[in-house]
Amino acid sequence: MRDAVLAWFDASGRIFAIREARDPYAILVSEVMAQQTQISRAQEYWTRWMAIFPSLEALACASPADVLRAWAGLGYNRRAINLQRAARVVVAEYGGRLPETVEELERLPGVGPYTARAVAAIAFGAPVTAVDTNVRRVLSRLAFASGVVAPGDLQALADGLLPPDRSAAWTQALMDVGAIFCRSRRPVCDACPVRAWCQFAAAGDAERPARPSRSRVPFATTSRWLRGRILERLRDADTSAWTVFRDPIGGHDPAAITSALVAMARDGLVELDGQDSARARLPLS
């Protein structure tokens, strides 16, 4: 099965410039960006980011305001702040060299188990498997007809299947299989390189659990939408000037906006005027 997946990946895997990176810092940036963003879209932002902040030192020395402006369009803006915090830790504690072990990588701000394993495998060739949404779906369906497996068992399964000499290619190959063939809806089982070993495909449609329906909440009513509009306004403002938020934004009244500002300040996304919590700007340090 491993040989089939790797042979398919070598011949037909997705080609992205972002995957050509060999600098561990560049790989960390790519993996953080890809956490909530499709890799094809993240690539454009990654290229721009690396031109602005070409090294850990450059990122560590920048102002959070510049970091947040460079992140514009990617969403989940705490990722940008945590990435800079991680850069500052690496510069201060590791001499500017990204640590190589999963354990040390997980200690960095914003770096969870998946990102740590992806960086360790891709940047340093460590014998670990990174389990993202696509990989989780592939391995769960491969081993179980229901496609359901406990998280702890899944990581053990992933580690047991790893070819130790090609951890980077294996990680990227499983991601591609999940994105191209083993999709959450309408999987393309007949063309999938793991079809011959897949319990989910062998079980057929009758064994596949129905997907629960989810209620939809209008996005403009969510706090995430509001936080995004606040950051958009601050990105367009002068760096050191205070922006006043006293009027409603969408369906959010001033009280909701003030609450959002306080939460964003706690996350390091904005700086509040100590005399007036309705006045904010992007952080300067």
Specify the pTM: 0.86
Question: Which residues participate in catalysis according to the annotation?
Answer: 31
Cα dihedral sign for 133, 135, 140, 142? positive
The residues that bridge with 252 in the sheet, in sequence order, are 249
Kind and range of the H or E run holding 243: strand 243-244
Helix pair 113-124, 167-180: axis angle to 10 deg: 120
Q: Rounded to 10 degrees, what is the CA torsion of 59, 41, 15, 131?
A: 80
Q: What gap in Å lies between CA 268 and CA 284, rounded to an integer?
A: 10
Q: What is the pLDDT of residue 215?
A: 58
List per-residue pLDDT tens for the chain, 285 residues long: 999 999 999 999 998 888 888 899 999 999 999 887 888 889 999 999 999 999 999 999 999 999 999 999 998 999 999 999 999 999 999 999 999 999 999 999 999 999 999 999 999 999 998 988 899 999 999 988 877 788 778 888 888 999 988 989 998 999 999 999 999 889 999 999 999 999 999 987 544 554 555 556 677 788 989 999 999 999 999 888 999 999 999 989 999 999 999 999 999 999 999 889 899 999 998
Tell me the three state secondary structure of residue 280: strand
Tell me the three state secondary structure of residue 83: helix
Q: How far is CA 61 from CA 114, 179, 235, in A?
A: 27, 36, 19
Q: What is the pLDDT of residue 207?
A: 47
The residues that bridge with 256 in the sheet, in sequence order, are none
Residue 242 DSSP class:
-
Q: What gap in Å lies between CA 241 and CA 7, rounded to an integer?
A: 56
